[in-house]
Amino acid sequence: MPSIAVEDFQKVEMRVGKVVGVEEFPEARNPSYKLRIDFGSHGMKKSSAAIRPWYRKEDLLGRHVVAVTNFPPRQIGPFSSEVLCLGAVQRDGRVILLQPDSEGELGARVA
């Protein structure tokens, strides 16, 4: 795997958010949800997350997540995804969402 400079990593803005809305997203190519995420003083953002096989809507609501917040919006069918929720892909293909150890402050930058 190629190395990157610390300065390159520092360009990626990752922040703590709280999922405050979850909707089915049947138009997506992979089984997905439309998430609405509160980043505190950084505002509400939308995200398309292809995690429906592994998470129920009620388990996501109120969950704290880590997301990249400075990528440009990405059009997923009729939906504009503004942030990328981070997850770890397991050997069996499952995705496990990353979350902070404790709830902490919404919008806190991951360093």
Total structural domains in the chain? 1
Residue % of the chain over a pLDDT of 90: 94
For residue 48, the domain's CATH number is 2.40.50.140
Q: Which domain range does residue 49 map to?
A: 6-97
Q: What is the pLDDT of residue 100?
A: 92
Q: What is the mean pLDDT of residues 12-18?
A: 97
pLDDT (0 to 100) of residue 70: 98
Task: Evaluate whether residue 53 is within a structural domain.
Answer: yes
User: In 3-state terms, what secondary structure has residue 24?
Assistant: strand
Asked if residue 111 belongs to a domain, the reply is: no
**Residue 104, pLDDT score:** 80
Task: Compute the mean pLDDT over every residue in the chain, rounded to the nearest whole number.
Answer: 96
Q: Which tens digits make up the pLDDT trace of 64-110?
A: 999 999 999 999 999 999 999 999 999 999 999 999 987 789 999 99
Buried b (16+ CB within 10 A) or exposed e, 9-32: eeeeebbbbbbeebeebeebeeeb
C-alpha–C-alpha distance, residues 95 and 93, integer Å: 6
Residue 21 is predicted with a pLDDT of: 98
- Residue 105 counted as domain residue: no
Residue 103 covered by a domain: no
pLDDT band at 38 (very low <50, low <70, confident <90, very high): very high
